[in-house]
């Protein structure tokens, strides 16, 4: 079954199209267009998608949404609209309106992408499900994701992000979730806010779009639990549920951390369940409670969902260990390069501390961005966590991480550089057989360059660490 017909696209966007065709997916980047896609030509400050319409159609796109038919494009395959971005929004709203799926929305200072991916995996094992790609969680990513929501999906999971006040509410009103999960409140994007209180207020905007009779899912262990409950009630939400060590609806009874996962005993929606998580770290123990509670509220089989957590697959750059076979022997790479915040770095350090390599525990960190006037303090504060975790060697790059590097004992200095490109060969040259290294930093810092340098040491194959 196609995702959209030309007729339905034109109707949803108040556009016009003389042709008859259908599309199986939606794309806004001509470089990613696949056979059967709908390409939406958007205008940005540095580009105009109309310049790529003819190429997208030649690459296999079924059709395109345009504000004017570009030179060289087949007019029969174009839906002409007044404005491309508004058409994207309208198509997303049409996708949401026709869906009968249970819709879950996830936000939070940390853990939202991981929880979204975990929900996608465990719900897909039970019924046709959909989740937005990567971190398509902003003013264009959310409508694009809604436009991709299959009509036949029984579950839809949407990550909603923000880094300023007033951004989350409009996204929530677009998604109109049945379940709204806030994973945590922490000092992320604090440079764009005056306080943690403001961050909590901004995250509570997710309640603005919650469907009538919907459920709020909150972290009972977070300092802002009572405030978030109050905000939920302000929006008329009566079904407020909690998870965590102090949780009521998903309560952690006990757990055992292992180097590659955890064993968990919990009571979820009145059921005592023992299960294994296929991802390491105490943060994943808590995340699992949020995920299973949300899945249960959506109508999924909680026990079945819990038992599928053992097969949890982390997204690229989110902490999956890989054993790298280099010329000097094998070492382990934990790629956490996708993004970073103070609390997320602390979690990554804790995971590394639980590893027992035959060589050194090593850490390569790039700047954490959007921390404003708190940046120096929040970077320096990581030093004690690193010392307590008995990390053997630390590498840093960036103007802010220089403060952390200076606060660490000389005995664990591995190397410092201003950029990730300069740091990459320093880290690669330091690796030895039996070592384990975690790479983390804000996405804009480009710690992927360090990951690439380590991957380049491979002489045969990489495999997921056991």
CATH code of the domain containing 406: 3.90.190.20
Same domain, 291 and 375: no
Same domain, 224 and 152: yes
Give the Cα-Cα-Cα angle 299, 301, 306 (nearest 5 degrees). Answer: 125
Please report which confidence band the pLDDT of residue 81 belongs to, taking 50, 70 and 90 as the band edges: very high
The pLDDT tens digits for 218-271 are: 999 999 999 999 999 999 999 999 999 999 999 999 999 988 899 999 999 999
Residue 155 included in any domain:
yes
Per-residue pLDDT, averaged over 131-145, amounts to 91
Please report which confidence band the pLDDT of residue 449 belongs to, taking 50, 70 and 90 as the band edges: very high
Same domain, 434 and 379: yes
**pLDDT over threshold 50, residue 462:** no
Same domain, 57 and 117: no
The number of distinct structural domains making up the chain is: 3
The pLDDT tens digits for 27-42 are: 999 999 999 999 999 9
Same domain, 391 and 436: yes
Please state, as a whole number, how many other Cβ atoms lie within 10 Å of the Cβ of residue 191: 16
Q: What is the predicted pLDDT for the residue at 317?
A: 66
Domain boundary among 88, 108, 130: 88
Please state, as a whole number, how many other Cβ atoms lie within 10 Å of the Cβ of residue 260: 15
Residue 93 included in any domain:
no
Q: What is the predicted pLDDT for the residue at 459?
A: 86
- Mean pLDDT, the chain, whole residue set: 94
Instruction: Check: pTM over 0.85? Answer yes or no.
Output: yes
Same domain, 83 and 140: no
The pLDDT tens digits for 362-400 are: 999 999 998 999 999 999 999 999 999 999 999 999 999
Residue 316 included in any domain:
no
CATH number at residue 238: 3.40.1190.10
Residue 347 included in any domain:
yes
Residue 200 included in any domain:
yes
Domain boundary among 311, 338, 362: 311
* Separation of first and last alpha carbons in the chain: 39
Please report which confidence band the pLDDT of residue 313 belongs to, taking 50, 70 and 90 as the band edges: confident
**pLDDT over threshold 50, residue 466:** no
Domain boundary among 254, 280, 311: 311
Same domain, 81 and 182: no
In angstroms, the CA 314 to CA 335 distance is: 10
Please state, as a whole number, how many other Cβ atoms lie within 10 Å of the Cβ of residue 77: 23
Cα pseudo-dihedral 194, 199, 201, 203, rounded to 10: 160
CB 337 within 8 A of CB 397: no
Residue 398 included in any domain:
yes
**pLDDT over threshold 60, residue 130:** yes
**pLDDT over threshold 80, residue 180:** yes
Residues contacting 66, CB < 8 A, separation 6+: 41, 50, 53, 73, 78, 79, 80, 81, 84
Same domain, 278 and 367: no
CB 451 within 8 A of CB 458: no
Same domain, 255 and 128: yes
In angstroms, the CA 5 to CA 350 distance is: 50
Same domain, 113 and 84: no
The pLDDT tens digits for 270-303 are: 999 999 999 999 999 999 999 999 999 999 999 9
Residue 156's domain spans which residues? 99-311
Same domain, 293 and 162: yes
CATH number at residue 55: 3.40.1390.10
Same domain, 43 and 69: yes
């Amino acid at each position: 079954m196609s995702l959209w017909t030309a007729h339905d696209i034109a109707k949803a966007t108040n556009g016009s199209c003389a042709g008859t065709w259908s599309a199986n997916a939606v794309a806004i980047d001509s470089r990613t267009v696949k056979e059967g896609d709908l390409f939406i030509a958007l205008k940005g400050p540095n580009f105009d998608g109309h310049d790529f319409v003819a190429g997208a159609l030649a690459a296999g796109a079924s059709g395109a949404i345009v504000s004017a038919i570009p030179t060289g494009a087949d007019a029969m395959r174009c839906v002409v609209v007044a404005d491309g971005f508004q058409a994207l929004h309208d198509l997303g709203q049409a996708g949401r309106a026709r869906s009968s799926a249970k819709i879950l929305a996830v936000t939070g200072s940390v853990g939202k992408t991981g929880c979204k991916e975990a929900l996608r995996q465990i719900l897909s094992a039970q019924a046709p499900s959909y989740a937005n790609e990567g971190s398509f969680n902003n003013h264009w990513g959310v409508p694009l994701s809604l436009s991709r929501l299959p009509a036949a999906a029984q579950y839809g999971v949407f990550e909603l992000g923000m880094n300023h006040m007033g951004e989350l509410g409009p996204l929530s009103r677009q998604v109109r979730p049945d379940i709204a999960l806030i994973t945590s409140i922490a000092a992320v994007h604090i440079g764009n806010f005056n306080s943690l209180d403001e961050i909590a207020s901004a995250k509570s905007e997710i309640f603005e779009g919650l469907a009538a009779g919907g459920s709020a899912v909150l972290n009972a262990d977070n300092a802002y639990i009572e405030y978030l409950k109050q905000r939920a009630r302000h929006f008329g939400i009566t079904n407020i549920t909690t998870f965590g060590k102090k949780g009521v609806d998903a309560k952690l009874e006990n757990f055992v951390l292992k180097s590659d996962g955890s064993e968990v005993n919990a009571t979820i929606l009145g059921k005592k369940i023992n299960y294994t998580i296929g991802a390491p770290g105490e943060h994943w123990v808590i995340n699992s409670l949020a995920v299973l509670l949300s899945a249960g509220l959506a109508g999924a089989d909680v026990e079945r969902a819990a038992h599928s957590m053992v097969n949890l697959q982390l997204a690229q750059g989110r902490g999956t260990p890989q054993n790298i076979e280099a010329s000097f022997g094998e070492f382990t790479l934990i790629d956490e390069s996708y993004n970073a915040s103070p609390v997320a770095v602390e979690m990554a350090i804790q995971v590394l501390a639980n590893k027992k390599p035959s060589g050194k525990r090593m850490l390569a960190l790039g700047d954490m961005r959007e921390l404003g006037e708190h940046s120096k303090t929040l970077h320096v504060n990581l030093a004690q966590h690193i010392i307590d975790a008995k990390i053997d060697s630390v590498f840093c790059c960036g103007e802010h991480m220089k403060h952390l590097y200076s606060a660490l004992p000389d005995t664990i200095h591995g190397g410092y550089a201003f950029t990730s490109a300069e740091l990459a060969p320093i880290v690669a040259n330091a690796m030895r057989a039996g070592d384990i290294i975690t790479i983390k930093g804000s996405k804009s810092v480009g710690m992927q360059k360090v990951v690439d340098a380590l991957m380049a040491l491979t002489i045969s194959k990489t495999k997921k660490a056991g």
